[in-house]
Structure 1
Amino acid sequence: MNILPKYGLLQYRNAVRIYTKDILESLSLFKKETKEHKTTLLIIHEHGQLEELDSVINFLKSFGVLIYADWIDEDIARDKSDTTIQYLKNKVSSNEKIIFLATEEAIQSKWCNWVLRFIATQNRDVVILPIREDFSDYGGIDLLNKYPYINEISENKYQIRYPKDNTEELENWLESVTAIA
């Protein structure tokens, strides 16, 4: 199991650009992109990890897949109210793909874990993108035994590894359109 380290993820932050942008400007520009001819993708992430979020968007774009997300800077109440549940239902049902950015902070977050369980109740598949802290072991091994996850198999080559040990190239998974419930 080869889990992408945080420094490896952060290298993607400006890798697909000719020039650098600050995080908020980058996420704002990404949000304004049209969803025409793009895979819609929901990324579940720890609220304060914008640099990691920007990096993962650019990581996914490096596969040549056009990704659209309309949720980047929307504020969502971090509670389990009817409004929040309806918001999540709408986001889960309107996106073709769902990725959980499983940093150490996210896997410790009660909120992120609640959202992950909620998505499972909606009968939608979610893929884990595990990110370990630099020079340390990954604390979310139990997630990787339960959900499919993105695994680095060699430099710049990634696959989805499913709990039953079958695999799929990440690029193929990103390009395939999932039927939206």
Structure 2
Amino acid sequence: MAIAQAELLRAAQRQPVIKSQVRAGLQKTAFLCHSHRDEKLAEGLQSLLAEQGVQLYIDWKDASMPPEPNRETAARIQQRIKSCDWFLFLATANSMASRWCPWELGYADGQKQPDRIAVVQTSDSSTTHGNEYMQLYRRVDSNNAGQLLWLPAGGNQGQFVRSVPFL
């Protein structure tokens, strides 16, 4: 089931949990592809994933990024996509209309194994976003208890995000 944008907004109000795994360098990492217009949704997903033991990289929180997008920005994004364990696409109306998001997704598709790319479908008051990619990539969904699940492309049976092993 898609993650309700309202749930992401509620999660954005919480402070991300810093687990001991971060200090030990054992935490899973994910690059977040998203529209900057969805800042609060991105922060909410960051909080939810931190609770599951996943450190989410958000480019606009990276002080080393250039203030204006340029070739250096693209090179740093490419490096981050390659270095993170997973690539997550936060599907919203804004990201589906973005010029950068399809570029990042296409780059990740050429660099990462298919099981390392996932779409985070979201739903708002009118629709569910990200259906276009469901047969291509894994997805991150939430169950009725609000736990995040890692599901295979086109499938409905998956595992909890916190228990997905490193490959």
TM-score when scaled to structure 1? 0.72
Alignment size in residue pairs = 158
From 55, 63, 86, the counterpart of 1:67: 55
Paired position in structure 2 for 1:163: 153
The Cα offsets for residues 97-155 of structure 1, whole Å up to 9 and x where unpaired, read as: 2211222211221210111011111134211111222x211142111222111122322
Offset, 1:159: 1.7
Q: 2:8·2:40 contact (CA, 8 Å) conserved in 1?
A: no
Paired position in structure 2 for 1:121: 110
Rg: which structure is higher? 1
TM-score when scaled to structure 2? 0.78
Higher helix share: 2
- Write the distance in 2 (CA, Å) between the matches of 1:107 and 1:132: 13
Alignment pair present for 1:151 and 2:150: no
What 5-or-longer segments of structure 1 have no aligned partner?
19-28
Identical-pair percentage: 14
- Write the distance in 1 (CA, Å) between the matches of 2:103 and 2:56: 24
Paired position in structure 2 for 1:23: none
- Write the distance in 2 (CA, Å) between the matches of 1:89 and 1:129: 20
- Write the distance in 2 (CA, Å) between the matches of 1:66 and 1:160: 12
CA-based RMSD:
2.8
The Cα offsets for residues 3-45 of structure 1, whole Å up to 9 and x where unpaired, read as: 1111111111233579xxxxxxxxxx9xxx8673322221111
Residue type at the aligned position of 1:172 = S
Paired position in structure 2 for 1:14: 13
- Write the distance in 2 (CA, Å) between the matches of 1:10 and 1:93: 28
